[in-house]
Amino acid sequence: MSQKIAGVKGMNDLLPGELGGEMAPVETWQHVERTARELFARFGYGEIRTPMVEDTALFVRSVGEETDIVGKEMYTFEDKAGRSLSLRPEGTAPAVRAYIEHSVANQEPLTRWYYIGPMFRYERMKTGRYRQFFQIGAEAIGSREAAQDVELMDMVVQLLEALGLKEVSLNLNSLGDDACRPVFQQKLVEHLTAHRAELCEDCQRRLESNPMRVLDCKNAKCQAVVQAAPDILQFLCEPCKAHFGDVRRKLDVLGVRYVINPRIVRGLDYYTRTTFEFIAAHPALGTASTVGGGGRYDKLLKSLGGPDLPAVGFGLGLDRLTLLLKEGGQKYAPPPDVFIAVADEGSADEAFKLASRLRREGLRVEFDTRGGSLKSQMKRADKTRARFALVLGQTERESGKGQLKPMAGGEPIPVALNEVAQTVRAAH
Ligand code: HAM
């Protein structure tokens, strides 16, 4: 017997309709993507599509060697020429690489891009945390002003609103810059070292390699130590404090609600100043409740060999957004407008032609290519939740008239066979 081959663990199939398991139906994904594309265009963001694979060094030098993402979770392999390549674990570094490679700075002073696509991280899986997952991200390169940070946050807020996701809160922080963060870090390390024995194994290691990451460890014992840790916002230098103040003021100007959360340190090393996360209150996602995150990365372009330009961006987890919508019970697959049923063999071609014509005229039409009895076709019409069924037999062919039968019940609507599309539309 031939053995079945399963899909790769942590990587999901997205199926239409009700066929999928844990994942939201593909129509929900399409709805989110469509909504984002339409909205982001209103904000003046153009789409970029970069390869799924990049030089490993790109992520090591941007996301950071000491982060979990690069240290533990990257899919890295050698190609046939012995180059070290990695499946992208995130979208910011590739966007910046493309920006530098195409000398975009010489062509426009302010660049706004978005992307939608799969990312890869070898993570421990659970609901909302996968090894291939999808991000909708946006990056704005060239402005150091708070208005740019706030424009991006506003864009996320408007997307969540458009999707009807209300229970998501914006958590805001600033990580300072090279002038003030080292002072904070020193105080933090002093505090953590004094409580070293209380920290989890991972955090004892992080204390040496990446102490900021201890701040967002989920371990209860670490959280207790973190509770009493110094607060980064108390250590901001004057320019960083002013920038953070501007961000808050402009959020207020737009009426965007947020909470200050000094524990938002993010899992990537490139951030400076503003960082933020959008956290869902819904229990469906458990600890995978962060639907998006982002912030400024004013030093990244230069450190990757590009111009010394400031930038800010965000990434949203499409898997998580769609799970929230699925939980809300919303369905996005539109039912067929009309099911064309064949009453007798002699009408099959005529019905087939009618179905084709109605599709050309813009209707969603179901037609059972297997043929079969009228009864079995009507059963299928019911199952597809078509709005109307139209039976085509000899009488209809000869008279050029038929009836649109509302599948949800009600009086049939008489219709001329050459006016089906207009009649269906008018019946809305
Ligand atoms: P990130 O916080 O690593 O940021 O990822 C952004 C979002 O991707 C998360 O909030 C989460 O919703 C989703 N996500 C991350 N890992 C997984 C996973 N294993 N399974 C499902 N969803 C996941 C970034 O990647 C930055 N590039 C964001 C950014 C853009 N910062 C500036 N510009």
Where a domain ends, among 308, 328, 348? 328
Atom number, ligand 1, closest to the C-alpha of residue 291: 12
- The rounded distance, in Å, linking the Cα atoms of 12 and 277 is 25
Report DSSP letters for 44-62, one per residue: TPEE----SEEEHHHHIII
Is 20 within a domain? no
Looking at residue 66, what is its pLDDT? 86
Looking at residue 361, what is its pLDDT? 97
Residue 322 Cβ contacting ligand 1 at under 6 Å: no
Residue 314 Cβ contacting ligand 1 at under 6 Å: yes
**Same domain flag for 264 and 398:** no
The total domain count for the chain is 2
**Same domain flag for 296 and 396:** no
Range of the domain at 172: 26-180+236-328
Residue 91 Cβ contacting ligand 1 at under 6 Å: yes
**Same domain flag for 356 and 316:** no
Is 19 within a domain? no
**Same domain flag for 67 and 162:** yes
**Same domain flag for 320 and 381:** no
In what order do the strands lie in the sheet containing 401-406? 365-367, 338-342, 388-392, 401-406, 413-416
Instruction: For 28-48, write each residue's pLDDT tens digit.
Output: 999 999 999 999 999 999 999
**Same domain flag for 384 and 290:** no
- Expressed in angstroms and rounded, the spacing between residue 290 Cα and the centre of ligand 1 is 8
- Expressed in angstroms and rounded, the spacing between residue 85 Cα and the centre of ligand 1 is 20
Within 282-419, where are the H helices?
Answer: 300-303, 318-327, 348-360, 374-383, 394-399
**Same domain flag for 32 and 130:** yes
Query: What are the angstrom distances between the C-alpha of 180 and each of 185, 237, 300?
Result: 9, 5, 18
**Same domain flag for 307 and 410:** no
**Same domain flag for 262 and 372:** no
Residue 135 Cβ contacting ligand 1 at under 6 Å: yes
pLDDT in tens, the chain (428 residues): 799 999 999 999 999 988 878 999 999 999 999 999 999 999 999 999 999 999 999 999 999 998 899 999 999 999 999 999 999 999 999 999 999 999 999 999 999 999 999 999 999 988 899 999 999 999 999 999 999 999 999 999 999 999 999 999 999 999 999 999 999 999 999 999 999 999 999 899 989 888 998 998 888 999 999 999 999 999 999 999 999 999 999 999 999 999 999 999 888 999 999 999 999 988 778 778 999 999 999 999 999 999 999 999 999 999 999 999 998 888 898 999 999 999 999 999 999 999 999 999 999 999 999 999 999 999 999 999 999 999 999 999 999 999 999 999 999 999 999 999 999 999 97
CA–centroid distance for 405 within its chain: 40
Is 8 within a domain? no
Is 357 within a domain? yes
Sign of the CA dihedral 19, 21, 27, 30? negative
